[in-house]
Structure 1
Amino acid sequence: MEHKVAKYIQIKEDIIGDIKSGLLQPGDKVDSESALKKRYNVSTITVRKAFNDLISEGYLMGVQGVGTFVTKKQMTRGLTSISFSDELLQQGYQIGMLVDLIEEVRNPSVAEKLEIPADQSMICVRRVRLANDEPIAYQSSFVDSRILSLDQAERIRETGSFYKTLKDAKIFPVWASENYSVKQVTDGRIAKLMNMKKNTDTFFVKRLAFDEFDKVIEYAETHFNKDWYSVTINIKI
């Protein structure tokens, strides 16, 4: 006996199928409620149920008075991996990186976070993270120059991953603490690299990464494009 699928589920599955096949692209307008009502021979309530589910699940977005559109696919952090590259790969993205700057610097406030002397130099690696060839984040990582040299840091241009570069230098972060806030991109050059206007709001993440002995290895600051980024936290009760 054939199992009968609820109409709103059928509408959802058809739209998701069109998105996954590429028939519907990010930014495309989907058929109107009235068009879907006629096609599936259903009520307005049924169509709206499908739309509401698709919006809450991140597939669609509604613009009042205009219509319903396919959203950009967001990179969802599950907070299960230290490596940003690994998380992107697990979600099916094509990843890339544009190295902006690698330099040896001194910064007392960052040195305090790394728990090193205020006048101790550190290596700073600044890069743009790409997903499907679009910039989604600007990251700045700081590491004590006594454990990571400038020459070692330059290997990121070959490895394409900061954490692979650390691993090659025998540096092994095993856990991290992150602080999330909303912060504007006030640096015009960074905004240009991220293809956004200056003073645009971004998710701003400050990270401390630790080794197995709970020693601070890295301090990082990242601007994430809010249109591409979300965080999921699972809480066990």
Structure 2
Amino acid sequence: MSAMQLEVVIDRESPVPLYHQLAEQLTAAIDDGRLEPGDPFENEVALATRLSLSRPTVRRAIQEMVDQGLLVRRRGLGTTVANRKVHRKARLSSLFDDLEAEGREPRTSVIEMEMRTDERAAAALDLAADTEMLSVVRVRSAGDQPLAIMHNWLPPAHAEITLESLEAQGLYALLRKRGVKPVVARQSIGARMPTAAERRALGLRSGQPVLTMTRMAFDASGAAIEFGDHAYRAEDYTIDLMLDER
């Protein structure tokens, strides 16, 4: 079976990165059923040529979809659409905001805060690999009970953020005060066993798993404003989603 050639419209004047525009439209084709599980996916070279995009741009879009579990690469078979998964947006808020809304006492301890490079975070924020970003690691608690350890990366424009401001409020509230408003995010949720450092920070017993969340947040212009890797005490954290098939 030959791969379907999907109609894709790339706006080269948009501030949204080209790879992200491509990934969003290809993802929509999977979500609305134009591409079904098991369907062959147009290869990188053909897609780049047809859309007049560079191969690295197309490669990054495809890799993003592979990372989300939407596509599967198989040696000798090429890239195919993965089995369908449910993807729904959760509320775009911080854990600090959620705890306050529940009438609980959010506390934050900043355990690392420095400017440094990281290739994965730079790629997520659409920055050059050697860009120094603000790396912040925090433990978020409800009262005296630790709930999450959160590692966030911010573009260098936020280098002057202080430790005191991070301990006093949620990250998104702080960004809004700085004139940066997160309006959309791509979020992946999973589970795994914690690292030794995570186990100590969260007070976990041996064998207890953590719930994980990776999030990229964007402003109204499509610019990436933060990238985060979080680990939560699984027994203390639930995610509520409204699924609507009207």
TM-score normalised by L of structure 1: 0.61
Q: CA deviation at 1:191?
A: 1.8
The answer (yes or no) to whether the contact 1:82–1:175 under 8 Å persists in 2 is no
Match for residue 139 of structure 2 among 98, 112, 128: 128
The answer (yes or no) to whether the contact 2:108–2:167 under 8 Å persists in 1 is no
1:203 corresponds to: 211
| 1:132–1:79 Cα change, 3 Å | farther
- 1:174 matches 2:183: yes
Match for residue 222 of structure 2 among 207, 210, 214: 214
Deviations 1:80-135 (A, max 9, x none): 23222111111222211111111111011211111110111110111011113200
CA-atom RMSD in angstroms: 1.9
The answer (yes or no) to whether the contact 2:97–2:170 under 8 Å persists in 1 is no
2:121 corresponds to: 110
The answer (yes or no) to whether the contact 1:155–1:165 under 8 Å persists in 2 is no
Unaligned runs of 5+ in 1: 1-77
| 1:89–1:119 Cα change, 3 Å | same
Match for residue 225 of structure 1 among 221, 228, 233: 233
2:158 corresponds to: 148
The answer (yes or no) to whether the contact 1:123–1:153 under 8 Å persists in 2 is no
Q: CA deviation at 1:148?
A: 0.6
| 1:158–1:185 Cα change, 3 Å | closer
Q: Where in structure 2 are the equivalents of 1:9-28 lying within 5 Å?
A: none
> For the residues of structure 2 that align with 1:206 and 1:169, how far apart are their CA atoms?
23
Unaligned runs of 5+ in 2: 1-88
Moved over 4 A (4+): none
| 1:110–1:229 Cα change, 3 Å | same
Provide the secondary structure at the position in 1 that maps to 2:238: strand
| 1:216–1:194 Cα change, 3 Å | same
The answer (yes or no) to whether the contact 1:82–1:174 under 8 Å persists in 2 is no
> For the residues of structure 2 that align with 1:125 and 1:156, how far apart are their CA atoms?
12
> For the residues of structure 1 that align with 2:150 and 2:174, how far apart are their CA atoms?
15
Q: CA deviation at 1:171?
A: 2.0
Identity of aligned residues (%): 21
**Which letter does structure 2 place at the counterpart of 1:162?**
L
User: Which protein has the larger Cα radius of gyration, Structure 1 or Structure 2?
Assistant: 1
**Which letter does structure 1 place at the counterpart of 2:154?**
V
> For the residues of structure 2 that align with 1:210 and 1:158, how far apart are their CA atoms?
23
With 191-200 and 201-210 compared, the bigger mean Cα shift is at 191-200
> For the residues of structure 1 that align with 2:167 and 2:235, how far apart are their CA atoms?
29
The answer (yes or no) to whether the contact 1:102–1:153 under 8 Å persists in 2 is no
> For the residues of structure 2 that align with 1:185 and 1:117, how far apart are their CA atoms?
30
**Which letter does structure 1 place at the counterpart of 2:168?**
T
- 1:96 matches 2:104: no
